[in-house]
A and B are shown apart, each in its own frame.
Chain A
Amino acid sequence: MNNGELPGLYIHTPFCRSKCIYCDFYSVASRTMVPAWLEAIRAEMKLYGKDFPVFDTLFLGGGTPSVLEERELALLFESIRKHFSFGPDAEMTMEANPESLSKEKLDAVARFGVNRMSLGVQSLDDTDLQYLGRAHDGARALRALRECREAGFGNVSVDLIYGLETQTLASWKKTLDLLLEFRPEHISCYELTFSPSTPLGKRKESGRVRPIGEKMEAAFFIWTSRYLKRHGYHHYEVSNFSLGQENMCRHNRKYWRHVPYLGLGPSAHSFAAGPGAQTRARRWWNVLSLREYCRLLGEGKAPVSGFEELTSEQFDLETLDLGLRTEEGVDIGFLEHFSKDQRVLALWRKSGLVRVSEGRVRPTRKGFLVADSLALMMSK
């Protein structure tokens, strides 16, 4: 599926200034190993250069890629350009945190080819930001947004988090209103997640923090979706909004549509569709330790820790689940793979969870909210 589309390249920068209490992505709060990582990732690129020659998206994520110094970023991009090529109009995203951005850094990465900045703003309310353990305040975030525009970035995305104990619908609206003055091309609104491995998850377990509850979560979600729509944003995935169809994140959509991608750096995941109908799609992932990652590459070995081949059942289950998380939905004919029983679809429609248009079953706002159980209902 989607074999015609060029793959995407993901690079995981496993460094942060400090760890945020809610985040369960792999990173270390120290820059000591940056040089070793740069060397290792160069070696990893060499391993895959032949199999993945051309991409049309790059996503430099983390961690916090913006903690890298200009010269480190220069080295990284030099390696990328050496081993890989990009198609015309490639989308090249870099994640950044407000406190580690500067005009000089922005100018530099623009020169290296980055054309989309994704800012980890999270909130513009200082109480929220302190609660989350972020290193910036609201004013710094707004300044970073201005700097992105000044550096000429015409495609800026902002990450926000809602559903905090410290938040009210009114304070959340204030964050959105301040942000909307910049009209960012893309906004990701993630509901706060309590991963068991994070400090926040542990605080929840011990009862020191409380989720705001299903009713409030649903209210925040629906309100946000409506509010952003009124301001011209397209709610194209559970947590993602774009100013018009053209500003959807091309890289992330590859993940959701079974388009191949190569992930480099510790903890990164890769996916390759089989070259023919006989070959199964495969996914593999890298070790969760920076030290191990560097050691393996130092010995000329791939830093892979796991691998799976998707059975056609698994592939279909993913297609269903991922499809029902996006506005694009799934093909109505595809649903027959799971059940010829029309009653499930009828029930969904009656309950206002999906609508059917252009031969596709698309979740409504209410449907997005229960997307996990939609896939479960359909699967045998």
Chain B
Amino acid sequence: MRQIRNFSIIAHIDHGKSTLADRLIQHAGMVEDRQFRDQILDNMDIERERGITIKSQTMVLPYTSRSGELFELNLIDTPGHADFSYEVSRALASCEGVLLLIDAAQGVQAQTIANLYAAMEHDLAIIPVINKIDLPSADIERVKDQIDHDLGLDSDTAILCSAKEGIGIEDVLEAVIEHVPPPSGDTEKPLSALIFDAHYDPFRGAVASCRIFDGSLVPGDIIRFMYTGATHKVEEVGVFHLSRVAQKKLSAGSVGYIIAGIKTVADIRIGDTITLDSNPVSTPQPGFKDVKPVVFSSIYPISSDDYPSLQDALDKYKLNDAALVYQKDSSVALGQGFRCGFLGLLHLDIVQERLEREFDQAIIMTAPSVQYKFTLEDGSKLTIENPQYYPEPTSIKQAMEPFIKAIIILPERYMGAVMKLCLERRGSNPRVVYPTPGRVEVTFDMPLAEVVFDFYDRLKTVTQGYGSFDYEITEYRESELVKLDILVNGERVDALSLIVHRERARDLGVQVCDRLKEEIPRHNFKIAIQGAIGGKVISRSTISPFRKDVTAKCYGGDISRKRKLLEKQKKGKKRMKMVGQVEIPQSAFVSVLKTRDE
């Protein structure tokens, strides 16, 4: 056990986490240089494009230290976004130390701090690593200053590296050996293993990634999931190299996988504790949470014929993403679809993109909503995340909405713009800290509903890319809510309805009407768009008709040419949703809440 190190890399988005991970793998001789594919750990297309890790992977790196000792370094990769903070926390609970990666040019950002707090919560050894030192804009002294003052760490221990250029990689590995303590644990005690990840293998079923704290595990053992109570017979245990490598045994201190005839990832709860059915531990590993979705949106097929195929795609997708929840939903405007719950906005984006790309689904997503809680006059309680089921307004005694603590880090010069943005979004109770000169850390209480749409984009815009943001959900608070309906040529479009705060209703009503005016193409008749609360119109816009589209000439007897053009246009129309006679493009449904850049 003395030769084992379990560690993670944590970083703000884009600070180079995956590149460093790849370098460590390469340095450990796991891949030939010429086979070296950039960012091995991020092996989904979307991950590579966005430069973020969504699904974490774990790998064991054999490393011979400068002193000549052979070590087994378990790199536990973590997802790099607040939506997956629970998964991050379970991965961290499986480690003894972390590399806290900081971009030498950008310095400490909101997620750097959020990640640091998370690592401290687990009492982990923290090694600051300053990455991208090769950049012309790198300012190592400034970052060291931030490490001392913003983070309260010792900048003398910081490792300088450039993962991209392969500079300082060995220093990083040596620091892991030196500063991350070896795991403790007792192989003689009853088995206690923490599940920190799960993925789906079409041939073997769900595969659980876990950290063994005590005891050991061999194929043939009957294991029990302590939270779900389910038992399974272990078929295979092993460790992760570039692919899975089966082992005879997993013992206390190590990190590996278990295959036990488990059907789907939904049968495995991240954070659950595995023990032996015959000799169970008395208490599970701490920190288990039943993760609940916080953002909801409906997904509809563009063509109603594709409903079964969408159902099939969601079922398949769900095999590998336990966090997605969905149930049948229907809309007058959009037909049959699914109401889906997501961990956050990034999760929503990922599901949408993967359904479109990997499952070839043409879908419409409605504007995201959070979950509201209502107490009705008759005393009954109601939880609603779909505007369609908004209760009769006169029957509502009390309405509640979820609030977050939002942490924003920004250069001081953007303070005014950020304050304005947060106050517009009903932010309150601002707390401002100036950790280092020129930089501000500001914390707001905000309704989650105000950040589920384009808040991050807006923040990036008003801070010219320098602002960073992180949040955690805190509590439900009483709120004055109304349902905003949208009417297109007098017809209510249920899929466009929104639950909004009364004070924001007019602004949002105007915004939605304006957005739809931009999104819906002109027709040959006038289109009226209205926002209404309980039948009272609060906003409107009009799409004036186009005056002319006729082709002057039918080209003599060449009627086919005209018809072919028509057939082509007809095909294009299939990408639209018809509401009454109005063609509404796919993008309109989700973009209604997007604010325009001034």
Residues of A within 8 A of B (CB): 10, 25, 61, 190-193, 214-215, 217-218, 221, 238-239, 255-256, 261, 263, 268-271, 283, 285, 308, 314, 317-318, 321-322, 325, 343-344, 347-348, 350-351, 353, 366, 368-377, 379
| Chain A binder among B9-17, B115-123, B280-288, B519-527 | B519-527
Chain B 559-580 interface mask (CB, 8 Å, partner A; 1/0): 1101100110110010000001
> Cβ of A308: which chain B residues have Cβ within 8 Å of it?
560
> Cβ of B566: which chain A residues have Cβ within 8 Å of it?
317, 321, 372, 375-376, 379
Tell me the count of chain B residues lying within 8 A, CB to CB, of chain A. Answer: 29
- Across the A-B interface, give the 4 residue pairs with the lowest CB-CB distance, nearest first: A269-B557, A218-B547, A351-B525, A370-B524
Nearest-neighbor residue (CB-CB) of B523 within chain A: A373
Beta-carbon contact of A376 and B554 below 8 Å: no
- A351 CA / B559 CA spacing, docked (Å): 28
> Cβ of A221: which chain B residues have Cβ within 8 Å of it?
548
- A263 CA / B560 CA spacing, docked (Å): 14
Beta-carbon contact of A239 and B547 below 8 Å: no
Beta-carbon contact of A193 and B552 below 8 Å: yes
Beta-carbon contact of B557 and A261 below 8 Å: yes
Cross-chain contact of A379 among B558, B560, B570, B581 (Cβ < 8 A): B570
Beta-carbon contact of A318 and B557 below 8 Å: no
Beta-carbon contact of B563 and A376 below 8 Å: no
**Most A Cβ at <10 Å: residue of B524, B525, B526, B549:** B524
A–B Cβ pairs within 8 angstroms, 22 of them? A10-B557, A25-B555, A193-B552, A193-B553, A214-B546, A215-B547, A218-B547, A238-B552, A239-B552, A255-B556, A268-B556, A271-B557, A318-B559, A325-B550, A325-B554, A347-B525, A348-B525, A351-B545, A353-B524, A372-B550, A373-B549, A376-B569
> Cβ of B548: which chain A residues have Cβ within 8 Å of it?
214, 217-218, 221, 369-370
Beta-carbon contact of A376 and B550 below 8 Å: no
- A214 CA / B522 CA spacing, docked (Å): 13
> Cβ of A261: which chain B residues have Cβ within 8 Å of it?
557
Whether A190 contacts B553 in the complex (CB less than 8 A), given A321-B566, A376-B573, comes out as: yes
- A322 CA / B551 CA spacing, docked (Å): 11
Beta-carbon contact of B559 and A369 below 8 Å: no
> Cβ of B559: which chain A residues have Cβ within 8 Å of it?
255, 269, 271, 283, 318, 322
- A61 CA / B553 CA spacing, docked (Å): 15
Cross-chain contact of B526 among A215, A263, A271, A351 (Cβ < 8 A): A351
**Most A Cβ at <10 Å: residue of B526, B556, B559, B567:** B556
CB distance from A260 to the nearest CB of B (A): 10
Beta-carbon contact of A61 and B547 below 8 Å: no
CB distance from B175 to the nearest CB of A (A): 61
Nearest-neighbor residue (CB-CB) of A377 within chain B: B581
Beta-carbon contact of A370 and B580 below 8 Å: no
Beta-carbon contact of A347 and B570 below 8 Å: no
- A137 CA / B249 CA spacing, docked (Å): 98
Beta-carbon contact of A343 and B581 below 8 Å: yes
Whether A318 contacts B581 in the complex (CB less than 8 A), given A61-B556, A214-B547, comes out as: no
> Cβ of A351: which chain B residues have Cβ within 8 Å of it?
524-526, 545
CB distance from B556 to the nearest CB of A (A): 7
> Cβ of A283: which chain B residues have Cβ within 8 Å of it?
559-560
Beyond A192-B552, A318-B559, A371-B549, 19 additional pairs, beta carbon < 8 A: A25-B555, A25-B556, A217-B547, A255-B557, A269-B559, A271-B557, A283-B559, A317-B563, A321-B562, A343-B580, A344-B581, A347-B581, A369-B548, A369-B550, A372-B549, A372-B566, A372-B569, A379-B566, A379-B570
CB distance from B588 to the nearest CB of A (A): 19
- A255 CA / B554 CA spacing, docked (Å): 9
Nearest-neighbor residue (CB-CB) of B557 within chain A: A269
Beta-carbon contact of B551 and A193 below 8 Å: yes
Beta-carbon contact of B554 and A317 below 8 Å: no
> Cβ of A191: which chain B residues have Cβ within 8 Å of it?
552
CB distance from A64 to the nearest CB of B (A): 14
Nearest-neighbor residue (CB-CB) of A163 within chain B: B552
CB distance from B194 to the nearest CB of A (A): 57
CB distance from B564 to the nearest CB of A (A): 9
Beta-carbon contact of A285 and B558 below 8 Å: yes
Cross-chain contact of A369 among B547, B554, B563, B573 (Cβ < 8 A): B547
> Cβ of A347: which chain B residues have Cβ within 8 Å of it?
525, 581
> Cβ of B567: which chain A residues have Cβ within 8 Å of it?
314, 317
> Cβ of A366: which chain B residues have Cβ within 8 Å of it?
547
- A283 CA / B526 CA spacing, docked (Å): 38
Residues of B within 8 A of A (CB): 523-526, 545-560, 562-563, 566-567, 569-570, 573, 580-581
- A351 CA / B545 CA spacing, docked (Å): 10
Whether A376 contacts B570 in the complex (CB less than 8 A), given A214-B548, A256-B554, comes out as: yes
- A366 CA / B554 CA spacing, docked (Å): 19
CB distance from B290 to the nearest CB of A (A): 47
- A373 CA / B570 CA spacing, docked (Å): 10
- A239 CA / B550 CA spacing, docked (Å): 10
Whether A368 contacts B558 in the complex (CB less than 8 A), given A343-B581, A353-B524, comes out as: no
> Cβ of A368: which chain B residues have Cβ within 8 Å of it?
550
CB distance from A197 to the nearest CB of B (A): 12
> Cβ of B558: which chain A residues have Cβ within 8 Å of it?
269, 285
- A25 CA / B557 CA spacing, docked (Å): 12
> Cβ of A239: which chain B residues have Cβ within 8 Å of it?
552-553
CB distance from B112 to the nearest CB of A (A): 49
CB distance from A60 to the nearest CB of B (A): 12
Beta-carbon contact of B554 and A370 below 8 Å: no
- A191 CA / B552 CA spacing, docked (Å): 6
- A66 CA / B573 CA spacing, docked (Å): 44
CB distance from A369 to the nearest CB of B (A): 4
**Most A Cβ at <10 Å: residue of B545, B551, B570:** B551
Cross-chain contact of B550 among A263, A285, A370, A379 (Cβ < 8 A): A370
**Most B Cβ at <10 Å: residue of A10, A191, A372:** A372
- A86 CA / B295 CA spacing, docked (Å): 75
CB distance from A214 to the nearest CB of B (A): 5
Nearest-neighbor residue (CB-CB) of A220 within chain B: B548
**Most A Cβ at <10 Å: residue of B523, B547, B573:** B547
- A218 CA / B562 CA spacing, docked (Å): 21
- A239 CA / B548 CA spacing, docked (Å): 13
> Cβ of A314: which chain B residues have Cβ within 8 Å of it?
563, 567
- A269 CA / B562 CA spacing, docked (Å): 13
> Cβ of B546: which chain A residues have Cβ within 8 Å of it?
214, 370, 373
Cross-chain contact of A377 among B524, B545, B552, B554 (Cβ < 8 A): B524
> Cβ of B554: which chain A residues have Cβ within 8 Å of it?
255-256, 322, 325
- A47 CA / B569 CA spacing, docked (Å): 37
Nearest-neighbor residue (CB-CB) of A193 within chain B: B552
- A193 CA / B288 CA spacing, docked (Å): 69
- A286 CA / B287 CA spacing, docked (Å): 78
- A348 CA / B552 CA spacing, docked (Å): 21
Beta-carbon contact of A321 and B524 below 8 Å: no
- A372 CA / B550 CA spacing, docked (Å): 5
> Cβ of A218: which chain B residues have Cβ within 8 Å of it?
547-548
Nearest-neighbor residue (CB-CB) of B553 within chain A: A190
Nearest-neighbor residue (CB-CB) of A271 within chain B: B557
CB distance from B400 to the nearest CB of A (A): 41
- A290 CA / B569 CA spacing, docked (Å): 32
> Cβ of B569: which chain A residues have Cβ within 8 Å of it?
372, 376
> Cβ of A61: which chain B residues have Cβ within 8 Å of it?
556
**Most B Cβ at <10 Å: residue of A10, A270, A370, A379:** A370
Beta-carbon contact of A269 and B560 below 8 Å: yes
- A255 CA / B556 CA spacing, docked (Å): 7
> Cβ of B570: which chain A residues have Cβ within 8 Å of it?
376, 379
- A376 CA / B551 CA spacing, docked (Å): 13
> Cβ of B553: which chain A residues have Cβ within 8 Å of it?
190, 193, 239
CB distance from B589 to the nearest CB of A (A): 21
> Cβ of A255: which chain B residues have Cβ within 8 Å of it?
554, 556-557, 559
- A158 CA / B551 CA spacing, docked (Å): 19
CB distance from A21 to the nearest CB of B (A): 16
- A214 CA / B546 CA spacing, docked (Å): 8
**Most B Cβ at <10 Å: residue of A271, A321, A368:** A321
